[in-house]
Amino acid sequence: MTAPRPVYPHRHLLGIEGLSPHDIEALLALSEEQVEVSRQVEKKKATLRGRTQINLFFEPSTRTQSSFELAGKRLGADVMNMSVASSSVKKGETLIDTAMTLNAMRPDIIIVRHHAAGAVHLLARKVDCSVVNAGDGAHEHPTQALLDALTIRRNKGRIAGLLVAICGDILHSRVARSNIILLQALGARVRLIGPRTLLPPEAERLGVEVFTDMRQGLKGADIIIMLRLQRERMNGSFVPSVKEYFRYWGLDQEKLALAQPDALVMHPGPMNRGVEISSEVADGAQSLIREQVEMGVAVRMAVLEALASHLPNR
């Protein structure tokens, strides 16, 4: 006598864009189950036994790739990691040729990260298997948004009505874009905070409030999501210096005090301590940063399982 399992109706997970609130809820509900599995001594399931999962990473990534690898292995899949350094991309092969080559090996699921926005969608059109977007350029990173939502919901009990401030380098952030869509779909209010040089043009059109003054923007926030500032953007091209950036847009205890007293702090990692976030805050009582990592594996297991239910069985 169990309730019917939630259904995710798509073959791929290419972005949060295009998912209905129901689809998102379904993936979050499945993720909750996987959290329990991951906390057991026996973490192995057989849902993906006999299936082949390829992690195709055109951009180096430690945490996302290992999270997907662990998720696939816990579900019993055979997982193969292909990173750009060892691939034929270095030898001049085009993205589509790579996709066709991999397709011929008959994988069941390909996890793709690529530095160009839209590259994962292009690849998905050329292969027969399911494709999961593990980050395409500054476009989307759907599993990160899902794990952020799961973390928020488990700590706050809800998402609707929360005020979420996303701070830092919004312009180059796929995490921000996926989060904006997901959080708004589930009824949260979203604010973007950053220097104008790191905000996408016409950001207000995304339905968010935009602040360049972090102190103003943090007022009343329930959740603060800090984004990573890439090193090459710190020295004058987008912001003049680390010192100035941290002074005005870095999250420290003093600025955190402007948010709700029970505000929680998140960061997709890897963090630049002393650039966008102080160690005191990152390691403090209001930080959910480590919990996000745990939720990452659960969400990816849920996504893989949801997609597996659509894979042909013959």
Q: Among residues 154 and 233, whose Cβ is nearest to other proteins?
A: 233
> Of 171, 266, 140, nearest to 131 (Cα)?
140
Which residue of 10, 125, 247, 310 would you call a contact of other proteins, by CB under 8 A?
Answer: 247
Size of the site for other proteins (CB under 8 A): 16
Note the maximum CA span of the chain: 62
Least distance between other proteins and beta carbon 200 (Å):
12
Dihedral angle sign, alpha carbons of residues 89, 81, 49, 124: negative
Cis peptide before 195 (omega within 30 of 0): no
Vertex 126: Cα angle to 123 and 130 (nearest 5)? 75
State both tokens at 314. 């013959």
Binder among 97, 204, 244, 283 for other proteins (CB under 8 A):
244
Is there binding between residue 2 and other proteins (CB under 8 A)?
no
Considering only 52, 61, 83, 212, the residue that binds other proteins (CB under 8 A) is: 212
Q: Least Å distance between CB 196 and other proteins?
A: 4
Under the criterion CB under 8 A, does residue 44 sit at the interface with other proteins? no
Distances in Å between the Cα of 257 and the Cα atoms of 130, 215, 217, 220, 227 are: 44, 10, 12, 10, 19
Least Cβ distance, residue 13 to other proteins (angstroms): 35
Q: How far is the CB of 254 from other proteins (least distance, A)?
A: 16
Residues 6+ apart with CB under 8 A from 64: 113, 134, 135, 143, 144, 296
Q: List binders of other proteins among 143-202 (CB under 8 A).
A: 195-197
DSSP string computed for 68-127: HHHHHHHTT-EEEEEEGGGSGGGGT--HHHHHHHHHHT--SEEEEEESSTTHHHHHHTT-
Does 241 engage in binding with other proteins (CB under 8 A)? yes
| 310 lines the binding site for other proteins (CB under 8 A) | no
**Closer residue to other proteins, CB minimum distance, 202 or 262:** 202
Kindly tell me which of 39 and 247 has the beta carbon lying closer to other proteins.
247
Distance between CA atoms of residues 44 and 302, nearest Å: 14
Please identify which residue in 213, 254, 280, 283 interacts with other proteins, judged by CB under 8 A: 213
Q: 18, 21, 240, 270: which one contacts other proteins (CB under 8 A)?
A: 240
Contact between 237 and other proteins per CB under 8 A: yes
Q: Which of 11, 70, 122, 248 binds other proteins (CB under 8 A)?
A: 248
Q: What angle do CA 94, 96, 97 make, to 5 degrees?
A: 65
Judged by the rule CB under 8 A, the positions of this chain that interact with other proteins are 195-197, 212-213, 235-241, 243-244, 247-248
